[in-house]
Amino acid sequence: MTERIVGARLQYEDSATLERFLATGGDDGLRKAVLEMRPEEVAAEVMTANLLGRGGAGFEAGRKWSMLRKAPRRYLVINGDESEPATFKDHLLVERDPHQLVEGATIAAYAIEASFVVIYLRGEFALGLERVQQAINEAYARNALGRSIFGSSFSVDIVLQPGAGAYICGEETSLIESLEGKRGFPRIKPPYFPAVIGLYGEPTIVNNVETVSNLPWIINRGGEAFKELGQGRSTGTRLFALSGQVQRPGPYEVEMTKITFRDLIYGKEYGQGLHPDRSLLAFIPGGVSAPWFFPEHLDIPLGQDEVAKAGSMLGSGSVIVMDDSSCPVRSAWRIARFFARESCGQCTPCREGGAWIDKILRRIEEGEGREADLDLLLDLCDNISPGIKWPPAQTTICVLGPSIPPSVNAAIQHFRDDFLIHIKEGRCPHA
């Protein structure tokens, strides 16, 4: 039985209520932080824990905080714009444990001495928005927010901001633009981090929902205890979102590096395997931006470095399973189509390249493909991300464009025959 951190309350039906929250250690972390610790001590615990960001890039949260430019005003933004296909862990956390999110956000605000906090949630999370607003209201009512929190000398406000439907707004600079009332256009780098210039030009930290949801536990139990879970750089637990063609898709919190993809997909307490008489075609280990894995990768542990070494990433912690009834051409097309639709349009390689890749893959999928299409697809991928390597090179302002080639390339390299049957015979071998 793995230690549950962010998902500890999910075993209860009423996990979202204030009663359950307070009966299960709610507020303890925040009280300890603001009443017994200095902000830099809180930050030091998080540094010790080596908490990697849970939003996709996997950057150490403590290190991100330490980059904050010294300025009188600084902002904290919680990124809950979860839109990477097959990622649904934040959705669960905002709906099922909103108080933990608010507590974690307040702890983070204290650690960086933020002047103002915004929780930016995906607009489509109607129920999550209502629950988080309710949790914010209840936090004010018991002085866990607002002036002199729990009688300490720390005051801060949290405002809830609904997004309005744009995947790109999960990119932190784009999220900030959106929060300033503009289109979600990623900002030109450098500066690479909003910690230098962020919201309204002031230093800003953007942390993911799951990242800050870990903070109450870390403050209560200590960074060392967190670091004892997992191994190497992958400390603590992660909430993995398992989806696709498994018997039991769902969210599973596991200790980092302690189980393998085989355990997650086939294990009795996890995915329970594929449908009978189906075999594994491929799986994607970290959301649709990640290169695909195949049956030979099943024994890789769920750890940041282990997956990186094998040429992919854990990303947002979503594992998508495809069995042999699914068509890899169609899957690659659907992923490419997503990026083509969600491109913000600022950069030509992504805007045009993505749209072309979508059209060509659709053509192949519909049996209208041409012999030259495979080379053309790879050439387009190479234009968006030179060398089609991993981690991807960039010709664009953000990584949305370079997220297109990994799937397309994986499918072509691994399932070339499927593509050729589509092209030459105008039919799908999986239909």
Q: Is residue 271 close enough to count as binding another protein by CB under 8 A?
A: no
Considering only 229-237, 303-311, 323-331, 359-367, which stretch makes contact with another protein by CB under 8 A? 323-331
Q: CA 221, CA 314: separation in Å to the nearest integer?
A: 26
**What beta strand segments (E) does 258-310 contain?**
280-284
* Least distance between another protein and beta carbon 386 (Å): 26
Q: Is residue 35 close enough to count as binding another protein by CB under 8 A?
A: no
Q: Scanning residues 327 to 386, which ones bind another protein (CB under 8 A)? A: 330-331, 334-335, 338, 341-342, 344
Cβ proximity to another protein: between 25 and 146 the closer is: 146
- 22's CB contacts (< 8 A; 6+ apart) are none
Considering only 141-149, 224-232, 378-386, 412-420, which stretch makes contact with another protein by CB under 8 A? 141-149
Q: Scanning residues 158 to 217, which ones bind another protein (CB under 8 A)? A: 159-167, 178-184, 200
Select from 164, 203, 173 the least CA-distant residue to 83: 164
Strand partners, 117: 76, 158
Q: Is residue 125 close enough to count as binding another protein by CB under 8 A?
A: yes
Cβ proximity to another protein: between 344 and 347 the closer is: 344
Q: How far is CA 238 from CA 6, 72, 256, 307, 314, in A?
A: 8, 34, 6, 14, 10
Cβ proximity to another protein: between 181 and 190 the closer is: 181
Cβ proximity to another protein: between 193 and 240 the closer is: 240
321: left (phi over 0), alpha (psi -120 to 50) or beta: beta
Q: Is 311 helix (H, G, I), strand (E, B) or coil?
A: coil
205: left (phi over 0), alpha (psi -120 to 50) or beta: beta
Q: Is residue 52 close enough to count as binding another protein by CB under 8 A?
A: no
Binding mask 279-318 for another protein (x = CB under 8 A): ---------x-----------------------------x
Among 134, 231, 272, 394, binds another protein (CB under 8 A): 134
- Give me 55's structure tokens: 């939003």
Q: How many residues bind another protein (CB under 8 A)?
A: 76
